[in-house]
């Protein structure tokens, strides 16, 4: 390849890369996953409702940084509500792990959020 041809190929590759990044960025504008901020989990029904909302980009809505608020009795044991909330969070985290495993193509999306 000549010098001009090689230079043109590099410039074309750079333009194609920028276009791909722009398309990806525009696609992520519709994402409703909560990755970079804390997501407070206080109520099992509210949390289940949030986890059942699909992400228009990824399908499965990712709520990465969960802060679970537990109610503890004076005897330092969890209430039934807290136990149920913990089960719901555990189930969501299991589903999230399965999603991540079966959709590795989305990992770069979540690093950028």
Per-position b or e across 48-83, b if 16+ CB within 10 A of its CB: eebbeeebebbebbbbeeeeeeeeeeeeeeeeeebe
Predicted pLDDT at 78? 67
Predicted pLDDT at 39? 84
Q: Where are the domains of the chain?
A: 1-30, 31-112
| pLDDT greater at residue 76 or residue 97 | 97
What is the rounded average pLDDT of the residues 83-91? Answer: 89
Query: Does residue 30 register a pLDDT over 80?
Result: yes
Predicted pLDDT at 94? 93
Please tell me the distance from the alpha carbon of residue 70 to that of residue 54, in angstroms, as a whole number: 26
Predicted pLDDT at 98? 93
What is the rounded average pLDDT of the residues 12-16? Answer: 80
Please tell me the distance from the alpha carbon of residue 81 to that of residue 44, in angstroms, as a whole number: 8
Strands (E), 42-113: 63-68
Query: Does residue 24 register a pLDDT over 80?
Result: no
Q: Is pTM beyond 0.85 here? A: no
């Amino acid at each position: 390849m000549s010098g001009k041809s090689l230079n043109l190929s590099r410039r074309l590759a750079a333009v194609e890369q920028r276009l791909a990044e722009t398309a990806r960025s525009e696609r992520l504008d519709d994402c409703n996953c909560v990755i970079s901020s804390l997501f407070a989990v206080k109520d099992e029904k509210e949390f289940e409702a949030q986890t059942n909302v699909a992400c228009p980009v990824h399908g499965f809505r990712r709520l990465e940084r969960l802060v679970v608020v537990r109610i503890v009795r004076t005897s330092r044991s969890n209430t039934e509500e807290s136990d149920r909330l913990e089960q719901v969070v555990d189930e969501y985290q299991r589903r999230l792990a399965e999603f991540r495993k079966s959709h590795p193509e989305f990992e770069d999306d979540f690093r950028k959020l």
